[in-house]
Amino acid sequence: MNIRDHQLYKIWNKVPVDYYQTGTKSNILQMAWHHLKINSAKKILKGHQFSKILDAGCASGFMLFKIYQAFPNAKYFGIDVYSKAISYAKKTYPDITFKTAFAHNLPFTNDYFDVILFYETIEHVEDPIKTLKELKRVLKKGGILILAMDSGNWLFRFVWFVWENTKGKIWQEAHLHPFHYTELEEVIKKAKFKIEKKFFTHLGMEITFVLKK
């Protein structure tokens, strides 16, 4: 494990395993942010048929379970390196398969998934290009990778500064790669993904890419 991985483990161990489950009930800002994010994903998925879906960086499975409720006929998988959150997810959402794993070293065969969700995770990984290539490996031809991240615009930077210094102190130093969305687009191209669609949500603070092999 390298130095940055150790840094992230320290951060993860500060995060309650039910952080998203409780935060979206008690904090109106978290509630609004995640509601918009999940609804955006649902709109994309309505236009695609899929039998297997992976959430790479699923934490405790909050978002993946919301997607499962909307589209219950597929097989759902979630991976994350935060083992305590994965243990919580396994107990809380028994109909979904959860594994402790790095996104750059996935325990799945080639061309396995129709859909991969990669939401607000790429900024936390050690090697974004390597990780995207690994996600591409397990994605079926014709499948989609939905990648979302903060846009890095002035409004997000301001909001994140306030959040990190108030309610979100546990996330200080968690962003290994605080991309501007134009930089992220270059990373996507280097990983040889095709950008099928991109759009902004959350008052321009979040950008979503729909990618294909």
Domains (ranges, CATH) in the chain? Answer: 3-153+167-212 (3.40.50.150)
Return the pLDDT at 179. 73
Angle, vertex CA 4, rays to CA 53 and CA 6, nearest 5: 90
Return the pLDDT at 170. 57
Structure tokens at 163: 């959040």
Amino acid in the structure at residue 124: H
Structure tokens at 1: 């494990």
Return the pLDDT at 169. 57
Using the structure block, give the residue that is written with the tokens 């959350």: 202
The C-alpha atoms of residue 131 and residue 20 are separated, in whole angstroms, by 24
Return the pLDDT at 174. 54
**Residues forming a β-bridge with 144:** 115
Closest CA to 49 of 148, 149, 140, 147: 140
Q: How many alpha carbons fall within 13 Å on the CB side of residue 208?
A: 21
Closest CA to 152 of 180, 191, 123: 180
Return the pLDDT at 122. 92
Question: Residue 7 contacts by C-beta under 8 Å, 6 or more apart in sequence?
Answer: 173
The C-alpha atoms of residue 38 and residue 62 are separated, in whole angstroms, by 10
Return the pLDDT at 158. 72
Return the pLDDT at 3. 45
SS3 183: helix
The C-alpha atoms of residue 56 and residue 81 are separated, in whole angstroms, by 10
Return the pLDDT at 25. 86
The C-alpha atoms of residue 140 and residue 52 are separated, in whole angstroms, by 10
State the alpha helices, DSSP H only, in 13-112. Answer: 19-26, 28-45, 62-70, 83-92
CA distances from 99 to 15, 27, 71, 86, 182 (A): 18, 28, 21, 7, 32
Digit-coded pLDDT (tens) for 77-110: 999 998 999 999 999 999 999 999 999 999 999 9
List the chain residues with pLDDT less than 50.
1, 3
52-56 and 206-212: which strand pairing?
A: unpaired
